[in-house]
Structure 1
Amino acid sequence: MATTVVAGSIVYKKLKERSDQFTAKGLVRTPESKDKIGGAEDVYVGDIRDADSIAPAIQGIDALIILTSAVPKMKPGFDPSKGERPEFYFEEGCFPEQVDWIGQKNQIDAAKAAGVKQVVLVGSMGGTNLNHPLANHLRGG
């Protein structure tokens, strides 16, 4: 049975449902995220921008599924009824370079150091929300 660490509540929960096939471990960035997915002992809190903080979650796994992504916030005052395009910003320390580049690189480097056999990198920001402004924008809405 493969032990897999994932960052992403939907994938984590799906793997947990298949406990006869997978032993899932979770990696989240905040205690609040851990609480949202049940706060199990197999869910680790770590700062992906700090390689040392994620090492415990990576130890002893066979596969790593990376679903981390910088999350833009919409600037206040956006009015879609006026045909305006939304404008976004990132909170300090949560820019794409810090999360998507450094954070994902840290996870991959930790996986390599731990002898992980497979890494899957998934980009899916807003993918579960059909009304997400980025999804609407990409559909031409």
Structure 2
Amino acid sequence: MPHAAAAAAADGPMRVVVTGAGGQTGGHVFRKMLARPTAFSPMGIVRSEASRDALVAASGCSADQVAVLDVASVPGLYMDVAIAAFAGAAALVICTSAKVKPTGGVNPDTGRPNLGFPDGQPYNVDWLGQRRQIDGARAGNLKHVVLCGSMGGTDPAHMLNNFGKVADGRGGGNILLWKRKAEKYLTESGLKYTIVHPGGLLNEPGGRRRLRVGVDDSLIAGEHRSIPREDVAEVLVQSLLHDEYANRSFDLVAEPEAAGPVDTDFASLLSPLEGASCDYSLGAIPDEAADIAEADVLMSAL
């Protein structure tokens, strides 16, 4: 048994806070942990009472296994609630993310529906919100933080960064840049971390494909650049059970079904990387001046 798994078994189920549990990937993580009661005791965090009711109904968990906490809420209020929710937890799995949705109308340049982040800009959700979660984990003396990010972070010109810009283009959007800033913050936090960058997310069954890992967006040039959400969730869960995932940041995709043997040896999944981890000196990370400017632009757009 891997060291981390053996320690968890000896101490009883690992109490894990799963944020974004009302979303698709976070929901998979939460349900996978519920299905392994000897290994995990999960606490799901969702944005609203409606999301809590839906998660309880979908997972069969008890209502006290889900808490309502908006990561983009007022910082002081967030920390008060977070510290209570994180109490006694050993680990945190961050699955929160700003979500692209149609915002009405059609883009005259592309002829496609306008897309944006009506439920929260990446600056607020993927940077400030994730930073607050990391600070909450540190304040609560959690041992391990696992963060679900996205491939593409080394390319400031990536198309995903164009979604959600405010009208004059001076701010908003840049989801991969703000995600990357939060990731770097985690790597410098002093907490044990695992950062997973999945490729394009598929709503297809997991456990049927061979997984491939890389670093620094090397997999983007390959033929296969997507992965089922359920497979991503499995890797997020497994990262808490194997020491090989400690203080690692990597990219993750899947081959088509039947293209190769299905991965079951998760302790060896990162072996092809030969110890490599993502390099945060690559690409671009917004500095303090950009942080302040973004806050000003978004405030003026309200």
Q: TM-score range with shorter-chain normalisation?
A: 0.7 to 0.9
**2:146 is aligned with 1:120:** yes
| Residues 5 and 25, structure 1, Cα contact 8 Å, conserved in 2 | yes
Distance 2:121 2:44 in 1: 22
Please give the TM-score of this superposition, normalised by the length of structure 1.
0.78
Distance 2:123 2:144 in 1: 24
RMSD after superposition: 2.6
Distance 2:49 2:84 in 1: 16
Distance 1:127 1:54 in 2: 28
Partner of 2:115 in structure 1?
Answer: 88
Gaps of 5+ in 1: 131-137
**2:115 is aligned with 1:97:** no
Gaps of 5+ in 2: 1-12, 20-25, 57-61, 73-77, 151-197, 205-224, 227-302
Q: Percent identity between the aligned chains?
A: 38
Structure of higher CA gyration radius? 2
Matches within 5 A, 1:8-19: 8-19=26-37
Q: Compute the displacement of 1:37 (Å).
A: 1.0
Please give the TM-score of this superposition, normalised by the length of structure 2.
0.39
Distance 1:96 1:61 in 2: 27
Distance 1:44 1:128, change over 3 A: farther
Partner of 2:103 in structure 1?
Answer: 75
The count of corresponding residues between Structure 1 and Structure 2 is 128
Distance 1:98 1:31 in 2: 21
Partner of 1:2 in structure 2?
Answer: 14
Matches within 5 A, 1:28-43: 28-38=46-56, 40-43=63-66
Distance 2:70 2:89 in 1: 19
SS in structure 2 of the partner of residue 6 of structure 1: strand
SS in structure 2 of the partner of residue 127 of structure 1: strand
Partner of 1:135 in structure 2?
Answer: none
| Residues 104 and 113, structure 2, Cα contact 8 Å, conserved in 1 | no
1:106-128 per-residue CA deviation (whole Å, 9 max, x = no partner) reads 11100001110000000269724
| Residues 47 and 53, structure 1, Cα contact 8 Å, conserved in 2 | no
| Residues 45 and 69, structure 2, Cα contact 8 Å, conserved in 1 | yes
Amino acid at match of 2:14: A
